[in-house]
A and B are shown apart, each in its own frame.
Chain A
Amino acid sequence: NAGVTQTPKFQVLKTGQSMTLQCAQDMNHNSMYWYRQDPGMGLRLIYYSASEGTTDKGEVPNGYNVSRLNKREFSLRLESAAPSQTSVYFCASSEGTGGPGELFFGEGSRLTVL
Chain B
Amino acid sequence: TQLLEQSPQFLSIQEGENLTVYCNSSSVFSSLQWYRQEPGEGPVLLVTVVTGGEVKKLKRLTFQFGDARKDSSLHITAAQPGDTGLYLCAGAGAYGNNRLAFGKGNQVVVIP
Contact = CB atoms under 8 A, between A and B. Distances in A.
Contacts of B66: none
Contacts of B88: 42-43
Contacts of B43: 43, 90, 103, 105
A42 B42 contact: no
Contacts of B103: 42
Size category of the binding interface on chain B: 20 to 34
A99 B42 contact: no
Interface in A30-89: 35, 40-45, 48, 58
Contacts of A108: 40-42
Given A99-B92, A99-B98, A105 B105 contact: no
Q: Which 10 A-B residue pairings sit nearest by Cβ, starting from the closest?
A: A105-B42, A42-B104, A43-B102, A99-B98, A100-B100, A102-B45, A100-B92, A42-B102, A105-B43, A90-B42
